[in-house]
Chains A and B, each alone.
Chain A
Amino acid sequence: MKKTDTIIIGAGPVGLFAVHQLGIKGLKSIVIDNLDKAGGQCIELYPDKPIYDIPAVPECTGEELTKKLLEQIKPFKAEFYLNERVEEINQVNEDWTVKTSKKNEFVAPNIIIAGGVGSFEPRKLSIKDAERFEDQSLFYAVRDKEKFKNKNLSIFGGGDSALDWALELSKNSKVTLIHRRNEFRGAPHTLSQLKKLENEGKVSIKTPCQIISIEGEKYITSISIKYDDGKIEKIQTDIILSFFGLIMKLGPIAEWGLNMDKKTIEVNSKDFQTNKNGIYAVGDICNYPGKLKLILSGFHEVALASVECFKRARPNEKYRFEFTTSSKAIQERLGKK
């Protein structure tokens, strides 16, 4: 079990800045996130959309903000555990232990939950039997493309993931791309390549239509789709790949015995602790009178929470407030001296 000063759940902008605020106080942290990269909603929902309300940054995109934050926290060498979700937390004396979906275990006196609206998970097909075939002949991501060689693939979605995989997998398989409307929202270049393959008879594109049923016993044998005009078509299918984006699910956080209000965690606005000592909630997921779901509010919240983290992690030391401009200790931690 790995020991650290603070476990940060969520690698969005606020989780990343927590590393900074803890780091300048000399505290170590690890960051856990269910996505495969840091950035949270900034990177997953609006990487290209400009943000205009980061103080002293007139305009930057979600991706730029994430990059800058990663650069800013580099001196602190926080360890990142991505692609894993925190499943369980337990109290052991004054400390907290955390177990993740990859069976990693950590222990620390502090847990900062910077979980946004929860963890990102693929949106699943809502039709009957979809669950039965999941991970066997129905997939929401491509982990090993060898699995999909020489198969009849039905790919759903209209965005980049659906288009990119349709293109890639059509090299070795018979691909049918199915979308609910005629317009696709993926990169125009990919789309024109697909149209070319369609004309050559190498890819089949079906629009506007939606899936209505899956047929098969142990494995999928075919699917039925319904066009907007009511026409129904059966398509021979071995494997369904569905790309309807990601949704946010609060997940196990709701079961940790924290005081919740709908999907948010109640905290005090003094140190952002929850009803459990040593567990803090910051950013979009926390709730207190006057709370605003702004990135800048999250930055303020971690600054205050990190002070309490220090007190719990270093009970025998006195916390001293310091400025980065004048503190030798901070400058050393930043690698500036």
Chain B
Amino acid sequence: MTKVTYKDNDGNTKTIEVENGLSVMEGAIQNNIPGIDADCGGSMACATCHVYVEEKWYNKLPKAEDAEVDMIDMAYEPKKNSRLSCQLIVSEELDGLIVTTPPKQA
């Protein structure tokens, strides 16, 4: 289990123990965290699980593949630290990860 903190646009946070191997998106959906829609169910086809990752953590994550970066173009207000949470797989190394959800997804 790995601790992941989901922060919303207003700064409210929720910390969840997510099973290793699940994605940050799945952790949110299974625990009813608002702010992550995941309309396509994790097939990297919709950009509605878009999150911002703090720089410290952003650099620790495996680099986004091209298809993910392409999809982020379609996200709501993408920034340099944008990722799709369906592509972030939870593991021990990410214990304490903090992601921020955008003001809205669609």
Contacts and interface: CB of A to CB of B under 8 A. Distances in A.
Contacts of A126: 76-77
A276 B72 CA distance: 39
B74 A245 contact: yes
A117 interface: yes
Interface stretch (B4-12, B14-22, B38-46, B92-100): B38-46
Interface string A155-196: 001110000000000000000000111010100000000000
Given A45-B46, A247-B48, A185 B77 contact: no
B40 A180 contact: no
Interface string A239-264: 00000110111000000000000010
A46 B73 contact: no
A102 interface: no
Contacts of B69: 181, 183
Interface residues of A, number: 24
**Binding site secondary structure of chain A:** loop
Nearest to A185: B70
Interface string B77-89: 1101000000000
A336 B78 CA distance: 54
Contacts of B70: 158-159, 185
B106 interface: yes
B39 A46 contact: no
A180 B78 contact: yes
Contacts of B46: 45, 117, 247-248
Contacts of A49: 43, 45
Contacts of A263: 39
A295 to B, nearest CB: 12
A126 to B, nearest CB: 6
B73 A123 contact: no
Nearest to A156: B73
Contacts of A46: 43, 45
A284 B39 CA distance: 10
29 contacts: A41-B40, A41-B45, A45-B45, A45-B46, A46-B45, A123-B74, A126-B77, A157-B73, A159-B70, A179-B73, A180-B73, A180-B78, A181-B69, A181-B73, A183-B69, A185-B66, A185-B70, A244-B74, A245-B47, A245-B74, A247-B39, A247-B48, A247-B74, A247-B106, A248-B39, A249-B106, A263-B39, A284-B41, A293-B41
Given A157-B73, A248-B46, 20 more contacts: A45-B40, A45-B46, A46-B43, A49-B45, A126-B77, A179-B73, A180-B73, A180-B78, A181-B73, A183-B69, A185-B73, A228-B80, A244-B74, A245-B47, A245-B73, A247-B39, A247-B46, A247-B48, A248-B106, A249-B106
Interface of B: 39-41, 43, 45-48, 66, 69-70, 73-74, 76-78, 80, 106
